[in-house]
Amino acid sequence: MPEKKKTHSDFGKGLRLLIVEDEPILARLLRKVLELDGFETDSALTLAEATSLFDKSQYDVVLVDRLLPDGTGLTLAELFHDSPADAAVVLITGHPSLESAIEAMQLHVVDYILKPINPDDLRLRLRRVVNHLQQLRRNRVLEEELVRAGKTVEMLQDMAVRDPLTGLYNHAFFQDRLAREVSRSQRGQHSIGLVFIDLDRFKQVNDSLGHMVGDTVLRTVASILQGSANGSGFHLRDHDFAARYGGDEFVLILPETSRSGATVTAERLRIAVQMHPWGDRIPLVTLSIGTAAFPADGQSRDELIRAADAALYAAKRSGRNRVVAYCSEIGDSAQQQSWLDSFDAQRVLSLEQIMLSRSFRFAYQPIVAHPDRIIGYEAFCRPVAELFASPLDLIDTAERTGRIHELGRILRQMAVESYGELPEDCLLFVNLHPLEIYDPQLLEVSPAMEPLLGRLVLEVNKSREIVDHGRFRQAIDRLRARGFRIGLDDLCPGYLGLESLSRLDPQFVKVDMALLRKTRSDNRLRRIFQHLVEHCHAESIQTIVDRIEDADDSALARDFEFQYLQGFHFGKA
């Protein structure tokens, strides 16, 4: 039995090597030497032949002559360099130069061998090449493992701060984020809105329909919070923060937002959840929401949380499906119970009753033009309930309990129906609360209102509380397209009034006579009003002075060239 051929070493074991050499004798010699070191070898005499072999097989090491009959070995080196193949190229050359060495390095040629070839030098260089190749591959494997490990770490980190059911941030991360926001706000001197959210009667959903349906409800509410629910129309700003507080409670952190701004966002969310198409199987889902703001309602993270939680508790106790903004009367538990006893049990119940029975009376005050020609009437609501001494009490209760949308719709419809037939050349002014802009049913018009479109003026009151003029203007434009006219009530002459005037572009503005009277002793205020009237005339905005009580008030308003006048001097409501 013949003896097996002994190899010098096995450093090339398991590696495929391609020899590209146009001298057949040298090519055979190289194959014989390198096979003794464990390489599996192929050879080619030309660049074309080598390219064909390269297309069919994968090689670990390529030993290529720099000069070939149909090209240069550097072409093959470039081919390997541009391909995903993980191969080490060694160049054979008989005429080395600095330029050729630099060119070879740019193509990632690992080493070069000089002719005539010394077998020992060849083995030494190829051993270094194999070590280099193996280290390169080990590094690549390590990099891939690190990438996979990095993704795993990211997943673990994400799991540590995310709620697994809803995908929102969890309670612990919320606490940390709120602490950081409070610290940042203390430095920057700006406010933070905090919104606490609770699903109404969620336990009944779990008990009657099962926890799987309950989980679906929680995930859906979370998707609305994230702005990913189709058609909800609810979106947070990029720097706002939503989390699952625990159980059926959620929370929003709204940086650089006042309490009123947080209340507007909360009301938009409440409506989005209530209007969501839950389907036949799931009953109507509603939210109770409490809002508070830093630093007005709490000087620290814990104080702010307590304030928002107290407001949420008040919202649930006062009938659910509403937003309650924190106030000092519901601070601690004793005050809260006192507020609930007096506010919930009486005012909330009374509000619900008079809205259901539509127990409202209406009065109408004329608005006159020069010379005392009536151009329209403003509708005033008179609630028929002892607890509401004035319409302001009624509005305040509706604001705190999240019923301002329903109340506004009822009052506008009744104002039109109660007046009767409006003279053809007259306008009817009815109030519109800023929070009503987010009512999805605002554009719906009752049959009684339809004939008056074009003559109905929606007077936006509390314009100082408008926090998002851009969104407000979009809603105003939709109302105009529907046929309504827009007015601003009680316009103040300061920055907020001018901002509302410039951004909302109303057709009417109304100024309180009490403020105008101050111009008799304040020349600066007088100049401001003169500029205001001039601006309105130039922009075709019609001006009204309200609460004119006597002839002196009327004369002062005429001096400023206000177009329309209103008040007891011309007719009681």
User: For residue range 302-338, what is the model confidence (pLDDT) as tens digits?
Assistant: 889 988 988 888 788 766 788 888 877 665 554 545 4
On whether residue 146 sits in a domain, the answer given is no
Instruction: Judge whether residue 339 has pLDDT over 50.
Output: no
Whether residue 269 is found in the same domain as residue 235:
yes
Mean pLDDT of the chain: 81
On whether residue 348 sits in a domain, the answer given is no
Whether residue 97 is found in the same domain as residue 217:
no
On whether residue 158 sits in a domain, the answer given is no
Closest Cα to residue 90, out of 56, 121, 135, 53? 121
Whether residue 95 is found in the same domain as residue 177:
no
Whether residue 204 is found in the same domain as residue 122:
no
On whether residue 360 sits in a domain, the answer given is yes
Q: Does the model's pTM come out above 0.85?
A: no
The residue behind tokens 């709204």 is: 254
What is the structure's pLDDT at 5? Answer: 45
On whether residue 65 sits in a domain, the answer given is yes
Instruction: Judge whether residue 381 has pLDDT over 80.
Output: yes
Whether residue 466 is found in the same domain as residue 522:
yes
Q: How far is CA 438 from CA 150, 338, 432, 559, in A?
A: 44, 32, 11, 39
Which residues 6+ apart lie within 8 Å of 368 measured at CB? 374, 375, 564, 565, 566, 570
Whether residue 403 is found in the same domain as residue 478:
yes
Answer for the pair 66, 96: CB distance below 8 angstroms, yes or no.
no
The β-bridge partners of 566 are: 367
Q: What is the percentage of the chain residues whose pLDDT exceeds 90?
A: 20
The residue among 150 and 264 whose pLDDT is bigger is 264
Which residues 6+ apart lie within 8 Å of 347 measured at CB? 387, 388, 393, 397
Whether residue 280 is found in the same domain as residue 196:
yes
Whether residue 459 is found in the same domain as residue 539:
yes
Whether residue 510 is found in the same domain as residue 383:
yes
CATH number, domain with residue 404: 3.20.20.450
Least confident of 75-84, 397-406, 429-438, 514-523: 75-84
On whether residue 2 sits in a domain, the answer given is no
Say how far apart CA 167 and CA 201 lie, in whole Å.
23
On whether residue 346 sits in a domain, the answer given is no
Whether residue 39 is found in the same domain as residue 92:
yes
Stretch 469-483: mean pLDDT:
83
Answer for the pair 238, 253: CB distance below 8 angstroms, yes or no.
no
Instruction: Judge whether residue 4 has pLDDT over 90.
Output: no
CATH number, domain with residue 93: 3.40.50.2300
Instruction: Judge whether residue 573 has pLDDT over 80.
Output: no
Residues constituting the chain: 573
Domain that holds residue 30: 16-138
Answer for the pair 290, 195: CB distance below 8 angstroms, yes or no.
yes
Instruction: Judge whether residue 108 has pLDDT over 70.
Output: no
Q: Residue 279 — φ and ψ, nearest 5°?
A: 90, 175
What is the structure's pLDDT at 379? Answer: 92
CATH number, domain with residue 278: 3.30.70.270
Closest Cα to residue 473, out of 457, 486, 461? 486
Residue 334, judged by CB atoms within 10 A of its CB (0-12, 13-18, 19+), counts as: exposed
User: For residue range 478-516, what is the model confidence (pLDDT) as tens digits?
Assistant: 899 999 999 988 765 544 456 667 677 889 999 889 888
Top-ranked range on mean pLDDT: pick from 38-47, 64-73, 499-508: 38-47
Number of compact structural domains in the chain: 3
Answer for the pair 383, 355: CB distance below 8 angstroms, yes or no.
no
Whether residue 111 is found in the same domain as residue 179:
no
Stretch 393-407: mean pLDDT:
77
On whether residue 128 sits in a domain, the answer given is yes
Listed residues 93, 123, 138: the one ending a domain: 138
Instruction: Judge whether residue 123 has pLDDT over 50.
Output: yes
What is the structure's pLDDT at 283? Answer: 72
Whether residue 303 is found in the same domain as residue 427:
no
